[in-house]
Amino acid sequence: MSIKNLPFGRAVLVAIVFALAFSCPRHRPLRIIFNQGAYGSAANYSELEYSDFFGGVVQMADDFELAEDNNIVTRVRWWGVYANNIPASDQFTIFAYELVDPEPESHPWYEYTSTEATRTATSSTVPWDGANLTVYEYNLAIPDGEFPPDTPYALSIVNDTGRWAWLVNDSPTQGNGVGWVRRLAGGTWLTIAVDSAFVLWSDQ
């Protein structure tokens, strides 16, 4: 039976179902598109409040590259520790910088600040100034970040609510042993032999 032969109410309902089926965006299953998530037992400051390294603010960054058809980031996962009191909530900024010869650009290509990252304590700890600091896992949904495929970028995650440090990646099969650090307010990036721990996800 065709739609035109259906009773009016049912015909309208069928038409609406067809319209929704073909007009609504179809999300793909949430999946990992870049994995550098094997965190280790060390961490580096990446925050706006304090830094033993510079005696001021400090910003860490690490490179990533996405493949064709897997180049839209919708969620980020990372790990970190607090060198002082744990804040009631966090404010993180996710930056992405284009890489040029071969350092990150000075200004970000992508930037998103949020207080909505979930924070979950893990059973892992990091030794720090004679104490063992609890490792926390963070997850944050971000506005779609569509990156040109097969193009290197540097990801930077910065906390604005305390003495926070980003865990390093400790896997011999993940990362390339190259990262960067700088004062947040501009300045020159310094190359360091460190990979930071993070995972990029997509449902697009």
In a domain, 11, yes or no: no
Per-residue pLDDT of the chain (204 residues; tens, 9 = 90+): 554 554 545 543 334 434 444 444 456 799 999 999 999 999 999 987 655 555 666 899 999 999 999 999 999 999 999 988 899 999 999 999 999 878 999 999 999 999 999 999 999 999 998 999 999 999 999 998 899 999 999 999 999 987 899 999 999 899 999 999 987 667 889 999 999 999 999 998
Burial state string for 57-71 with b = 16 or more CB within 10 A and e = fewer than 16: bbbbbbbbebeeebb
In a domain, 21, yes or no: no
Closest CA to 106 of 66, 65, 71, 156: 156
Domain of residue 97, CATH code:
2.60.120
In a domain, 18, yes or no: no
Number of separate domains in the chain: 1
In a domain, 19, yes or no: no
In a domain, 4, yes or no: no
In a domain, 10, yes or no: no
- For residue 110, what are the domain limits? 27-202
